[in-house]
Amino acid sequence: MDKGEQKTKVIRDIESKMDELDPESLRYKVLDGAREFKSSWIKLGQALYTVWKDKHFRGWGYAEFEVYTKKK
């Protein structure tokens, strides 16, 4: 996660559990994967919000945001 991004409570909880584990353990690796997965959804949501808010989808040939998201 980039420095400027706010972490969710779930991500903070996962990181707290990771702090207690050996980074080489399977449990740590599973939690790290979960953290990365959740972070990627946050990043996607932020990007899509910008597309919607600034109507970028129109410049990409779509009249409505919902059509853009269904097609892509």
Report pLDDT for 5: 56
Report pLDDT for 1: 45
- What is the spatial distance between Cα 41 and Cα 50, in angstroms, rounded to a whole number? 14
The SS3 call for residue 14 is helix
- pLDDT of the chain along its 72 residues, tens only? 444 456 889 999 999 999 999 999 999 999 999 999 999 999 999 999 999 999 999 999 999 999 999 998
State the DSSP string of 27-65. Answer: HHHHHHHHHHHHHHHHHHHHHHHHHHHTTHHHHTT-SSH
Q: Check residue 22 and give left, alpha or beta (phi > 0: left; psi -120 to 50: alpha).
A: beta
Report pLDDT for 68: 97
Token digits for 63? 């009249």
Report pLDDT for 7: 83
Query: The pTM is what?
Result: 0.69
